A and B are shown apart, each in its own frame.
Chain A
Amino acid sequence: MSPSIRHNLIATALPDFRNLGVWLRVLLGVNLLGLLWVVARNGDWHLLPGEFVDIALWLEPPLFVLLPLLHLLSTRLAELPPRLGKLTVMCLALLVAGAQHLAFSFSFLIAETSLARALFWAALTTGVMLVYFALRSALYSPALAEARLLALTARIRPHFLYNSLNAVLGVMRRDPRRAETALEELSDLFRVLMKENRELVQLSDEIGLARQYLELEKLRLGERLRIDWQIDACPPDTLMPPLMLQPLLENAVYYGIEPSEMPATITVSVGTQGKRVRIAIANPTPAGTGAIHVGTQGRGNQMALANIRERLMLFYDLEADLSVLERDGSYTVTVDLPLRRRDQA
């Protein structure tokens, strides 16, 4: 995975072979082509399953050799000019197909086709897949994806800005220094919010931003807002999409703290598990009366979650996951990301 969406989409017309989503698409695509071939060649539906197994025997082994090979070479491939990269992939595919033909003809399986036919089909399949990925990246063209990403990150509840400004005005006369700090925090926060956030950022920066945001909320909510940080040994240069913690915390404050009569605690836990980073934000779900309590975490929350899901998709394809758990008076959002660090980017 490249560190930025721009890099991801412009510099490599080749797909990122380290991405699980790409593997999945290749496997599905090639097998679908195989199925089409079987259907086209054969009118008898009863024979289809058997025929498909036969062709799968030809399709699967080279895929499981080729994909790990491309995974290993992906950094090199990305450095090549796009055309040369595609040519290399094509050559590798032909090499693997040729080797398979050779291996099959020496084994118990009798090669029914000639080497030339095998190579022709390999070239055709690889070509179709390369065209598919090229079309797909054109569809999610950098300009479109970038615009989408910027639109997605630009949102913050206006409610927050106006309430914060009102709170600053409220402490201004009694505690000018507190008001000063709050305005500084507010401008820092908005500097990041207004920025074009298209690059992955370091976890430590995200946490710093989250702390500033929560300090501002503390100005308004005082003792009612408590935060429990549970940050396990996690490399500070771990990369993650920008502005992901803040909207989740904003929701936690809005639905977990503001409606609560008693002081309540938001738990933020960050940790790594093998090659994954896991970030979880939990808030209590207070019961109460009146319109603002109707239902569980409402529409604003759903929008923020959909927004983050889409950004995760743009940054990581299928490799990241966002899940929600509501149980025993507590609401937890968990984001699961592949672990990437600055030096690997």
Chain B
Amino acid sequence: MKRTALTQKLLVLGVDGMDPRITRKFLAEGKMPNLQKFIERGSAREDLRLLGAIPTITPPCWTTLATGAYPGTHGITCYWRQSPESLDAVVYNMDSRNCTAEQIWNITAEAGLKTLVWHWPGSSWPPTSHSENLSVVDGTQPGSVNMGVAQLDWEKVIVASPEIKEVRYAPRVDKPAGVGCIITDLEDSLDADVDDEMMELWWGDTAREGGEIRTFVMDDEDTEVVIGSKVAYDIVNSPLKDATGWANAPEGAKEFTILTSGGVMRRPALILKNEAGEYDRVAIYKNKKAEAPIVTLERDKMVSGIIDDVTKKEVTKPACRSMKILELDPVGNKVRLWISNALDIANDQLWHPKSLFGEIVENVGVVPPVSLIGGEDAELVREIFEPSWVQYNQWQADCMNYCINEKGYEAVFSHLHNIDCAGHQLWHLGKTLSPWDHTDEKTYQGFIEKFYIQTDDYLGEFMHLLDEGWTVLVLSDHGLIVGENVPPIIGEYGGLNTKVMEDLGYTVMKKDENGNSIREVDWEKTRAVQIRSNYIYLNIKGRDKYGIVDPKDKYDLEEQIISDLYNYRDDRTGKRVIGICLRNKDAVLIGANGPECGDIFFSVEEGYNRLHGDSISTSEGYFETSVSPIFVAAGNGIKPGFTTERTIRQVDVAPSVSVLLGLRYPAQCEGAPIYQIFSEDV
């Protein structure tokens, strides 16, 4: 098949979690001028919406965008994959080898276009084409490049004052909002084991190795919005005193101590006076004998690219950190300092070809760490979390522009995670509900705005491409809502959701001596379980390890469960919480059928859904939010200033890329080109 290309160069600017509904609010307020220009110079629907694939979960949706196939077809149906061994366990799923549909970037590379896949969290790693035109960077987790494999040390807040008498270190402290960072009871603050790599932190080494993970979501405390908004970081307390024993300490400097690397690495630091006699800088040294500091920090300025040795598991490596002064008393009686997680500056494990890593480091810079602390602590969100993403966004934009301008890439498929990362920590605080009524929704709505503004700045970094013959697609996998209610315990993607299914009598948990449920399923009494975002599995004899349901009763039991789920009412409001509920064979209507989709697919009803993932993509939330993804196209081959009424589905993106570049469609593609927006009839 031959077709004339409408463009020779195409960039997909993916922004995880970008929601067209709230985007339109910020556009109307004039806060997203760069996106406004893309819209004016290109095509989109009036509402900017893309109809999202189901489930509205990151890896399935990015895989749909890459393949043009529905999740039931490409087989990536949640963040997790169901364990083939156990109904109550999941295994990791961000592995391209699990994908049963062809990715568009293999087609562009094999057709001779130099292709870059940049941190695409859906079936991109490991590379699935041998074409030497294909480069792939990470894609094994959605956070930021290298986050999953290069992390050597965790984030820390250091507090030093004259009242503190000795250096103390407390790893990974869950800090309730508003409580100062002074270690008062070390025994209570210590975890048994503390890991630093994100994969270890989240799920343990077993996850990376493909082992089973069992997570039980039994009450509000187990839900992501509660867990995600807790702020956990290492705390170091140090005396602050006159500098003694230094090779080169300026007049009037006071010293304190920073501990890193699980407490084994120590860096002496000084607070320094300015000409007016006020303390306004912090200098950090390798040791007291060092002539020059590793870095000197000024007030209100985050510094990244700080290279220092970090020890992890008895191995010492140079790592990149960011740092910022949180508070510095001008008369020198207190200093508070944040230091970021540390990223190994030499880890090229997830770069293909590996030479690209070296070129990026040399020409753009080392990968800057992003902060993952903030949550209910508004100061940390304002001072650390949001600005760390601004720095990362700039680095990523610089990397992609370097690859485009200097390396001659012609097709670029990219993903940025800033909005989704913030969404999972903060968005639920955009409405003040009772469990988090110690926070202020206006403050958090302001943070939502800041993340959209920084996204607009990122998009602006690529505006020049429209004048250089490129086609640019701005799109997302899903949006995130600010919840109207505290979500019910069903549909949480992280594991086995027990409460609703226990209430309905289908899942039975083992009990302790007081009759309370423990975190173990009683398989002899369990007829069905709800696991991952939207799936219910019956416990069938002969099929499942501990099956008790006769296969001939399966159809009737499915009907009973569907009926009970529709009748289930939220115990706080008395309203229905289940949206749609379909047998596997019927879920083909929404592309959520087949062997990876359980026996029953269900969604959580609008108003009761969590950030994203459990509802259908048309759900809307508080503060003009929605679960819908966004789509805007501009540049060569796209009608300028055009508004279409066409419903644009996520499966339509990959075949549209095919048409724009004059290439064949992906093998399992189920979508259709968005021909209405093309500049020529095809």
Answer yes or no: are A and B bound together in one complex. no
